[in-house]
């Protein structure tokens, strides 16, 4: 046994001496430059491009097999701006020889020094990366195992893999686009099957720094299979920091992922400035878009994705959310969103006065017909979404406890319910949109109660039209997706009821008092005109865009107003009649008894944009009223039979004649 061990040691020692001698002698006596044309030809044949490298090269054998090449160049096809598609200043790799005998790769270092890559797309659509390489790779069954690993290796250990000072330039002549990635540095350390791989990647995008650091793995003996942990941090533009931690499952086959994603608070406004990009909207409030943060857990694969424990912070608003998506060809989506509060007016641009432009009376040409909307995607969509907002401000109006539940299936989209509280009242509504046909149909039902109309209108349109508590209920249906078709098809009925309020801008009683002042029977009132009421009821019906408001009534102490007529949405034509009447009662709301008094009908005609308002003299003095000029004069004066009443002065009579032709005859 001792003899065997002795001779084994001697033989092993001889082999060791031979290997060392070869490592020291072979590089000195072998002319490696004579293999340069063969290497260049092989690579050119494999890529279909010209390939060259410099004469400054070096080869070592022991203990590390080393190769160092310089000035490597892979050419561009003819017609492109740059001569070379890839240029590398230097390349070096060192690996151990002995482990190769047992299918173990041990690499000391792998370095690409100053690689430059030019990606170019011409105006005719040709790109220099097209056609790179020849033949097709044989597809392997991902489930088939051909050895200890898909690479046929027992072990892999690479101390360092580095790319130093790289540059990538992309240009698209057709789009007039040019982008550059510079100062590209990549270092992978501790590459093996059994341990995590350290990653350090830095680059400048158009001069702005981006850094990726962390670890991936271990990848196992079968890269692309099993679970691969990762822990990465992305930093960009000195503004953005994203942390990604979790795992990838079977990255080659099932491509599953389970990740915790956290975006540290940053300023979207400053990030846009760093990217030299303008924000999509110039917000009214310059103090917004200063803080954005996100945390979410994402899990999925190529067939489904789920988001859970999501939290988005925008300035002082916080949104929590979860979502699931599958059957991406449809898709099938489910989500649940809760927002604590937001003031959208802060993010919207400052309202600007509309410039009046003369409308063109020329008819639209036949070729200018609007393109039909494609509702195909909505017909396939399956959706079940819920959204709640504790407090929302938009267009001046404040809404609380907003809740929306939207469902979509087979081309029918239903919002049921849509509820909200606003201005001491509430709204409950249901909306259904059917897009199964080319022209969508919409049905809407709304029930509102207890809403303070005055503050609502004042906040939203900055006008004072009406005051009072609003109760409303209506159902409407319409067809089409353009304002023109909706106006022509609007059909339904409903009722608006205002109680204990006032119509701002009109004072019928003051009008009569002014007449009395002219006649010498009183003083003119100069306060802001307003008609107080106990109840103002507006029932309506709509048929193909024609709205009728017959039965409209206003009841207030000493006054009753009835109204009726039509408004056509398509033609914007008005045909309304208002009959105010002074009555001898203080009763307002709920009074249905017929009352007598002075009736001064008003006709409203013309269009929505240019209404014409005039008194209905014929209706006031016609035979149907039972009033003659003398009786009307007495009722305006408020007495008529009082012997102490002073007769009007001549100039006052003339004023009355001017106001009401035929009154003094």
Over residues 235-262, the pLDDT tens digits come to 998 889 999 999 999 888 888 999 999 9
pLDDT at 647 over 90: no
Q: Binning pLDDT at 50, 70 and 90, where does residue 114 land?
A: very high
Q: Binning pLDDT at 50, 70 and 90, where does residue 560 land?
A: confident
Over residues 595-608, the pLDDT tens digits come to 455 566 888 899 88
Least confident of 27-41, 419-433, 510-524: 510-524
Which of 164, 204, 205 is CA-nearest to residue 187? Answer: 164
pLDDT at 266 over 80: yes
- DSSP states of 631-643 as a string? HHHHHHHT-SS-T
pLDDT at 104 over 70: no
Give the pLDDT score at 442: 96
Give the pLDDT score at 662: 37
> At 143, is the secondary structure helix, strand, or coil?
coil
Give the pLDDT score at 648: 47
Residue that wins the pLDDT comparison between 11 and 503: 503
**How many Å apart are CA 635 and CA 515, to the nearest integer?**
11
Q: How far is CA 402 from CA 17, 333, 393, in A?
A: 85, 21, 11
Q: Would you tell me how many other CB atoms lie within 10 Å of the CB of residue 231?
A: 16
Residue partners of 503: CB distance under 8 A and separation at least 6:
465, 466, 530, 531, 533, 536, 554
Question: Dmax of the chain from CA atoms?
Answer: 158
Residue that wins the pLDDT comparison between 273 and 470: 470
Q: What phi, psi does 22 have (nearest 5°)? A: -65, -40
Residue percentage of the chain with pLDDT more than 70: 72
- DSSP states of 443-469 as a string? EEEEEEEEEEHHHHHHHHHS---EEEE
pLDDT at 320 over 90: yes
What average pLDDT score do residues 197-213 get? Answer: 90
- Cα 232–236–241 angle (5° rounding)? 50
Give the pLDDT score at 434: 96
Q: Binning pLDDT at 50, 70 and 90, where does residue 192 land?
A: confident
pLDDT at 624 over 50: no
| Residue 598 near residue 632 (C-beta atoms within 8 A) | yes
**How many Å apart are CA 610 and CA 487, to the nearest integer?**
19
What average pLDDT score do residues 402-427 get? Answer: 96
Work out the mean pLDDT of the chain and round it to a whole number: 79
Give the pLDDT score at 145: 47
Burial class (CB in 10 A: 0-12, 13-18, 19+), 266: buried
What average pLDDT score do residues 489-499 get? Answer: 95
**How many Å apart are CA 358 and CA 356, to the nearest integer?**
7
Which of 18, 87, 93 is CA-nearest to residue 54? Answer: 87
**How many Å apart are CA 487 and CA 22, to the nearest integer?**
93
Residue partners of 594: CB distance under 8 A and separation at least 6:
none
Instruction: Name the residue ranges covered by the structural domains of the chain.
Output: 24-127+153-192, 437-659
H/E stretch holding 209 reads: strand 208-216
> At 112, is the secondary structure helix, strand, or coil?
strand
Kindly tell me the number of DSSP H helices and DSSP E strands found in the chain. 10, 30
Give the pLDDT score at 447: 97
Q: Binning pLDDT at 50, 70 and 90, where does residue 520 land?
A: very low
What average pLDDT score do residues 578-592 get? Answer: 60
pLDDT at 132 over 80: no
> At 500, is the secondary structure helix, strand, or coil?
strand
H/E stretch holding 8 reads: helix 2-29
pLDDT at 140 over 60: no
Over residues 285-316, the pLDDT tens digits come to 889 999 999 999 999 999 999 999 999 999 99
Radius of gyration in angstroms for the set of CA atoms belonging to the chain, rounded to a whole number: 42
| Residue 80 near residue 130 (C-beta atoms within 8 A) | no
In SS3 terms, 559-588 reads as: EEEEEEEEEECCCCEEEEEEEEEECCCCCC
Q: Residue 257: CA atoms inside 13 Å, Cβ hemisphere, count? A: 19
Query: What is the dihedral sign for C-alpha 586, 590, 593, 595?
Result: positive
Query: For the range 276-279, what are the long-range contacts, defined as Cβ-Cβ under 8 Å and sequence gap of 24 or more?
Result: 276/206
**How many Å apart are CA 309 and CA 299, to the nearest integer?**
11
């Amino acid at each position: 046994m001792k003899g065997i061990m002795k001779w084994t040691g001697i033989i092993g020692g001889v082999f060791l001496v031979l290997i060392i001698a070869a490592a020291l002698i072979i590089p000195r006596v072998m002319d490696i430059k004579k293999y340069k044309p063969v290497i260049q030809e092989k690579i050119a044949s494999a890529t279909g491009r010209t390939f060259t490298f410099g004469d400054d090269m070096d080869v070592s054998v022991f203990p590390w097999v080393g190769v160092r090449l310089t000035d490597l160049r892979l050419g561009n096809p003819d017609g492109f701006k740059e001569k070379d598609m890839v240029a590398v200043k230097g390349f070096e790799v060192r690996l151990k020889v002995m482990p190769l005998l047992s299918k173990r790769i041990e690499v000391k270092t792998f370095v690409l020094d100053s690689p430059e890559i030019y990606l170019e797309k011409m105006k005719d659509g040709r790109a220099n990366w097209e056609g790179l390489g020849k033949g097709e790779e044989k597809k392997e069954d991902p489930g088939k195992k051909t050895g200890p690993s898909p690479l046929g290796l027992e072990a892999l250990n690479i101390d360092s893999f580095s790319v130093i000072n790289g540059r990538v330039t992309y240009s698209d002549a057709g789009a007039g686009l040019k982008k550059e990635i510079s100062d590209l540095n990549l270092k992978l350390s501790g590459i093996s099957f059994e341990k995590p791989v350290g990653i350090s990647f830095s680059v400048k995008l158009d001069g702005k720094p981006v850094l990726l650091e962390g670890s991936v793995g271990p990848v196992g003996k079968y890269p692309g299979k099993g679970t691969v942990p990762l822990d990465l941090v992305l930093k960009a533009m000195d503004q953005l920091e994203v942390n990604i931690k979790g795992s990838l499952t079977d990255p080659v086959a099932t491509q599953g992922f389970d990740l915790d994603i956290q975006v540290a608070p940053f300023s979207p406004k400053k990030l846009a400035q760093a990217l030299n990009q303008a924000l999509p909207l110039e917000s009214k409030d310059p103090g917004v878009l200063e803080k954005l943060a996100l945390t979410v857990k994402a899990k999925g694969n190529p067939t489904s994705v789920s988001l859970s424990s999501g939290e988005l912070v925008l300035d002082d608003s916080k949104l929590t959310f979860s979502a699931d998506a599958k059957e991406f060809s449809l898709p099938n989506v489910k989500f649940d969103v809760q927002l604590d509060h937001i003031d959208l007016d802060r993010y919207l641009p400052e309202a600007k006065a509309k410039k009046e432009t003369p409308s063109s009376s020329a008819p639209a040409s036949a070729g200018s017909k609007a393109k039909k909307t494609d509702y195909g995607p909505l017909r396939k969509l399956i959706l079940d979404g819920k959204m709640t907002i504790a407090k929302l401000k938009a267009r001046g109006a404040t809404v609380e406890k907003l809740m929306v539940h939207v469902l979509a299936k087979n081309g029918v989209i239903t919002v049921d319910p849509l509820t909200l509280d606003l201005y001491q009242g509430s709204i409950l509504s249901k909306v259904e949109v059917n897009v199964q046909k080319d022209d969508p149909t919409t049905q809407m039902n709304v029930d509102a109660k207890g809403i303070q109309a005055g503050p609502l209108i004042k906040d939203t349109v900055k006008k004072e039209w009406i005051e009072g508590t609003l109760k409303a209920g209506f159902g409407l249906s319409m067809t089409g997706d353009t304002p023109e078709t909706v106006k022509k098809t609007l059909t339904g009925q409903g009722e608006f009821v205002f109680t204990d309020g006032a119509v701002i801008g009109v004072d019928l009683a003051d009008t009569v008092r002014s007449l009395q002042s002219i006649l010498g029977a009183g003083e003119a009132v100069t306060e802001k005109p307003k008609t107080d009421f106990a109840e103002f009821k507006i029932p309506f019906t709509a048929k193909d865009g024609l709205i009728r408001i017959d039965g409209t009534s206003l009841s207030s102490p000493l006054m009753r107003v009835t109204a009726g007529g039509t408004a056509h949405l398509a033609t914007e034509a008005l045909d309304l009649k208002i009959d105010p009447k002074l009555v001898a009662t203080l009763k307002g709301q709920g009074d249905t008894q017929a009352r007598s008094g002075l009736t001064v009908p008003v006709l409203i005609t013309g269009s929505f944009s240019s209404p014409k308002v005039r008194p209905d003299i014929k209706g006031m003095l016609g035979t149907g009223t039972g009033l003659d000029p003398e009786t009307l004069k007495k009722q305006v004066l408020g007495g008529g039979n009082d012997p102490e009443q002073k007769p009007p002065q001549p100039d006052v009579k003339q004023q009355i004649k001017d106001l009401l032709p035929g009154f003094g005859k």
